[in-house]
Amino acid sequence: MTRPSNRSIAWLGLMLLCACAPDIIVDYDKIADFSRYRTYGWGKSTPAKNPNLDQQIVQAIDDQITRKGLTKTDSDPDLLISYHAASHEEIDYTEASYASGMGPAYGSAESTSASSTPMRVKVGTVIVDMYDPKTKRNVWHSAGSGLLGDDSGKMSGEIQKGAAKMFEKFPPSQ
């Protein structure tokens, strides 16, 4: 039996790291003039059921928006932000583990796992929308999946990374 090379192990590690990263999509109104938005406020949201998680999400969004130069206000904001948190369960049929040098990851059809046992996996999604209250139009929409879960310690980092990625290109260059 041949042993996997260090390069193979590095590629496998990179693929696993990428698979764990949050999946983010962003869309925006191509005709909106983002240069005129200077302030923002919070609109009606569908918060996370866990109050600590809700606070982390709001803080992460606030941090990203203020870094982009907008000021939070309760009085006549240029943009209203709302977020929606949702989680659901999926059934994952992938095999749990492979021994060194065995299994499909190493080009072998042989697996050391006894069976492919279905496992319930929670997938968390956060959706952020920005509305222009004057035109009553949604001008920014972003969604991140894989951001919410049961481990609040781990989720804090995922929420921060997801929020940073959601607003990486905000405001859009037009």
Q: What is the pLDDT of residues 29-71, one digit of tens each?
A: 999 999 999 999 999 998 888 888 889 999 999 999 999 999 9
**pLDDT tens-digit series, residues 141-154:** 998 887 666 556 66
Determine, yes or no, domain membership for 4: no
More confident residue, 172 or 4: 172
Structure tokens at 48: 């996370």
In this model, does residue 118 exceed pLDDT 80? no
User: Among candidates 57, 59, 55, which has minimal Cα distance to 67?
Assistant: 59
User: Among candidates 173, 154, 164, which has minimal Cα distance to 20?
Assistant: 154
Structure tokens at 132: 């222009």
**For the domain that residue 76 is a member of, what is the CATH number?**
3.30.160.670
Determine, yes or no, domain membership for 173: no
φ/ψ of 12, rounded to 5, equals: -65, -45
More confident residue, 4 or 43: 43
What is the pLDDT confidence band of residue 23, given thresholds at 50, 70 and 90?
Answer: confident
The three-state secondary structure class of 82 is strand
Determine, yes or no, domain membership for 162: yes
More confident residue, 70 or 88: 70
Determine, yes or no, domain membership for 134: yes
Determine, yes or no, domain membership for 7: no
In this model, does residue 3 exceed pLDDT 70? no
Determine, yes or no, domain membership for 160: yes
Determine, yes or no, domain membership for 1: no
Span 118-131, average pLDDT:
74
pTM above 0.75, yes or no: no
Residue 103 belongs to domain spanning? 22-166
Span 94-117, average pLDDT:
42
Determine, yes or no, domain membership for 60: yes
Element (H, E) at 89: strand 79-92
Q: Look at the chain and report how many structural domains it folds into.
A: 1
